[in-house]
Amino acid sequence: PAPEAVAAGLIADTYPDEGYADAIEALAQRIADGPSDAFGSTKAAINDATLTELDAAFARERAGQLVLLAADDFREGATAFMEKRPAVYRKR
């Protein structure tokens, strides 16, 4: 059942029909407001891991993480987490 799948971490959540569109809109806005460089790097890393050799994916992941850990978006995300507030990422 769906509630058990949520509890087990197999799916993120469930929504009733009447709240589904609002939930999708909120998720889309959260993604749009997020750290776009990190999202792009993650997507590229996943593609490398699934579409090419694993060694290349590990190399890309390491390189990408080193760049992202030094980025303003990482500092903002970590600071916001520690301050228990929503992160505000810069737009490009």
* DSSP codes, 15-70: --HHHHHHHHHHHHHHHHTS-HHHHHHHHHHHHHHHHS-HHHHHHHHHHHHHHHHT
Q: Does 40 lie in the same domain as 63?
A: yes
The stretch 34-38 carries a mean pLDDT of 91
Q: Does 39 lie in the same domain as 25?
A: no
Is 4 in a helix, a strand, or coil? helix
51: pLDDT strictly greater than 80: no
Cβ-contact 23, 15 below 8 angstroms: yes
CA atoms within 13 A on the CB side of 48: 17
Instruction: Give the pLDDT confidence score for residue 86 in this predicted structure.
Output: 94
Is 52 in a helix, a strand, or coil? coil
Instruction: Give the pLDDT confidence score for residue 90 in this predicted structure.
Output: 85
Structural domain containing residue 1 = 1-32
What is the CATH classification number for the domain harbouring 66?
Answer: 1.10.12.10
